[in-house]
Structure 1
């Protein structure tokens, strides 16, 4: 990021908080005046009394609300900034799984927040886009990213909700404040956004451009698109919108029989549940059909399952929320496997497609035993997928996992050994090349010996290998210090053969590369020769001894046979730094989110946050191949990937990060396709709830 732009960005955030100290108290005053005006023209006594109560409570808590709004705003903006230690957060919506765990009060609060955001966004839309474009540019982004704006509407509304919740008033009073105060809040933010955008313009910050989604390489045919459109619209009803409250009631099984406003034809709790379930299934399939990470034939087959899923929803209205339900598991299995294929020509796709066609045919057969067919079809699909993997590949994967577990265990132990060595009194005075050797390869040697001895059935007689490798440390460090070794040449001559023999034995035990072994031996013998030929009474200064910094290499060490057995990707570091700033996946883009957003998000996290099950594309020799993370080591330093053909590939944490830096790896999916579709259903319900009330008419 340009230094001047960085300063402009920081100044903009500071000025936003300064301006807020002025307009927030003014907004509270405007809210109070608006409540009084509405109270005067209210036609019903109950409405007038409600407005009077809201205005009276506001007068009592006016200063407290302003103070807490400012405080919450400072906290929320800080946690929303991209450099606050976490990745930028998405809009304040709710996921499908979260909704099921919510109480009624939490759902209502979420709906209120959604409605306020809708009103405010309508008031600030143009000004917000202009400010976001300049803030994105100030952070070094060439394409505008809405989440890179820590001053977005969601941040202010979240701060407002937090401050109002801290004031002890009735929920009805708080709802009145939000309903009446939404429009003046939008006006205040619009003015602030305008001023801040002009400030960035005066600082020379140009707006970032708008991103253009690349056309995916695989598009459904015109016929498939037509069929999908017809299928999706069959049960869509614009007058029957799914709201967050209705979705929540469906998930918790607590439908209100007295509320038939959205479902006038539902005459019972079960009827309403079936109607809502049908809406969810329809919206879920619509989202899946729009997910271009799946090949068009797969999306078409999934839409063909809709009649069966709608029929199942009549008897099991919540089957899609139960991840153990056979129908939900079948959907997950089909979509999960589908992500392995990037082209209809991929090996294994024909067999998979035929198996899914068979599933669809079985589910569409008439009969009352539909619910019993899902487990049978799930079992058949799982057996066919297991049979598609050769036994040799299964064995190779098992060996890779065992090897990676052993590698991580040894590396973690080697880190502790290195820490032990660093605490020795003679370590700081040892030359840098020896210090790096001791905390690197030699720590691995000692760790390997300790592990072998721990796993041995009987303990060795006399000194163990690990003990000998440790006992050699004083002689090695002493002999490498010119000032000390030159004063006692007889001792130097005596210990050199034993030191060199022990070093070679230890390095051979971990199959350390011969060329690196010889390079270290040459350096060490050069020190020994200098000490033998020179007598010095003046020891070199500490600064001289520490002039060579230690290597900071967090790459786990592997022996050559371990790299082979674990199917290690060995070309991660061969290409060096990327030679272009353009992404390497220009022709294989299949992401629903901008790649720059995802890469920033991942870079802000630890790599271990990438869950098992994640699908990625890896560029090798100019070709992108699809892989899934099927195993991660307990401490997240090593990953095992599986390809669509059953092949295995392992990678270190640093290798994963390096591929990201080189634009040779991109994340295709971190969550399941069905999970993502249901989250979109919840989001649509959230949006529908926000549109359900017209604030201007209150």
Structure 2
């Protein structure tokens, strides 16, 4: 008998309390008043903090689109707040008022209700609801037990449990979820509001329960009831008994995991077409968790020894058997038959759901294009250890911070950027293989091994991250330097071309401008900048030098030219020295110019005669031209045979949404596949710089070029969210499809 309070075993109600009379209504009204007052206050606190929380997220948003979602959410919450508060409080008030007359819920109601909710919203929302409500049901188990007992007395002896108590965490969470249907906001906004509901409503429920229990006790409803938790409740386990990671996992299933598994169980039941397992005569009872763990340990030993019992570990992923769920079940049943001497008739529903989930998780891994093929095969070997972990600790699928889940996500993130070319020393490949091998050889029933391996992998990643970041910085600085140089060359070229303005200049003047002086302007731009007096002086020389090339037609023009020449010579000396002309080269070039200007002014030639202006100049060959008068520099051209991509196309928008740290896969014609991370976007040219996992440059593309590659299928953006999250979403989507395979265990 489950006794949760001290004698007297039966405490009568006050004589005037009648299960159908006014007294019942008064007591329920008292509970409704307490609940309404406290919940209204808590809900007000919640909404007072929504703006600040959303604003903080908007400030930290990765891109403009995310920021817009949060700001839109702020406006939507302000608009819908009165309706949400009203609907939530009305629902709780109504459910409390109807409590005495309500019929007992059917056994299938919770599962079907949860199933309908999952069908109407994203899995992540369901996880938020189940996780936070279960956490507080565990925390408040004693207070809840007391109020459930007292409400049961008020309701004429009908048993009130957490699932049927309108002020229990789960019921309040579901009422709030229904009220949030008024909110047409992004899922990320809703998830934030659920966190605030957890903090400002559910975390304060002990005050509501304490006041309600005290009020009912004063009214004579079980006044001597002591707040003792029922046996088997979370938090009531005596010290030294089995915990959630030992062989006592069956008795101490985590409430959040139980809720999630119940939700997914509904989907599995709907897919199987029946809520009852397939039972065959003579097969014996379903295996216990200990039997399952024993069979899995034997399969794990075989896999560690290279027997690969679940599927043939082929060299190519494409040759792997895809129905891993069916194979896993068949291998497990065969192993159980060997241990028992008889094949089990069926597996308990919760265990079968766990087997299905783990099998589908690893099927997803083998289909996930974010992972390189070799890494897919390596990670697929973890199926048995992860099934053991899921049976030992059912929180794995419900809690994002579970060490087994975080380890798999971390392995997938490391593997995402792997390629033979970027891992020539095999360090990453060997590390992933080492983690896999350690789990296969060492994991028995200690969930702590996942935490230890995760810490080791994080240390490995941190060491390599520092190395790659240094390499990335060098690549970015080198690219930035080249772009600054190219930008300066283009600027110098444009200034000179605009000033020439199509005039036909003498060859010697043209060469000085296009080679020597253009390089001088480039250096001035790089060192002093475009706003410097040196750059303005350099441009003034270009104007004067071009003006000096015009043949003077009269005495005034000749006088003006003579006035210009000393300044031209002084400027040339400084400019030529700036671009590393040797003194003898400077004197030879100036001598050529003096003779040419002498001819322009009609002066007699000096002895010895200088070379004609059209002959080879004194400018060294090392001073390369950066511009010619009739061929201005052009911007980067698009790849051959490509057409401009419209800025409203999905590919262009995809390019604009890319953030540093995003991985892409490139498959160019006649070249090996390359995986590269977006490291840097140039603020000058807008080009996208890509590096491999070692931080070495792989390529850089203009936005237009990258969009063309995406359109042609030569580039693919790899998923940025965690592997486990992608897998869970895919599993739910798959289970909802009408043509999804039937996951029944075939025991024949």
Q: Tell me the TM-score range normalised by the shorter chain.
A: 0.3 to 0.5
TM-score, structure 2 normalization = 0.38
TM-score, structure 1 normalization = 0.40
- In terms of Rg, which structure is larger? 2
